[in-house]
Amino acid sequence: MLILLFFAMRRAKGVVELLVKAYIETRAEREQRATMVAMAQSLPNGGAAARFEEGRPAWLFRKDAADPAGHRAIATREAA
């Protein structure tokens, strides 16, 4: 019985570690995107900020100076 409990606890520990790792990665990605959006919003006359992963652009955050008031100033899209 103790052996079964031991293996069950090891399996539970592995699952918890996996969930914590996924949570931390998701949180870090959200913070990186929020930083990029804030940087693009701070551009005075429009412009763009790109996020690179492994040397290739992964996201493009741009601010159009011609956007009318009331519209979203930041557009994000997956870079192809």
- What is the pLDDT, as a whole number, of residue 19? 96
- What is the pLDDT, as a whole number, of residue 79? 47
* Number of neighbouring beta carbons within 10 Å of residue 59: 17
Separation of alpha carbons 80 and 69, rounded Å: 29
The arithmetic mean of pLDDT across residues 45-49, rounded, is: 70
Backbone angles phi and psi of 56, in degrees to 5: -120, 145
- 20 has a pLDDT exceeding 60: yes
- What is the pLDDT, as a whole number, of residue 35? 81
- What is the pLDDT, as a whole number, of residue 25? 93
- 23 has a pLDDT exceeding 90: yes
For the question of whether the overall pTM of this predicted structure is more than 0.75, the answer is no
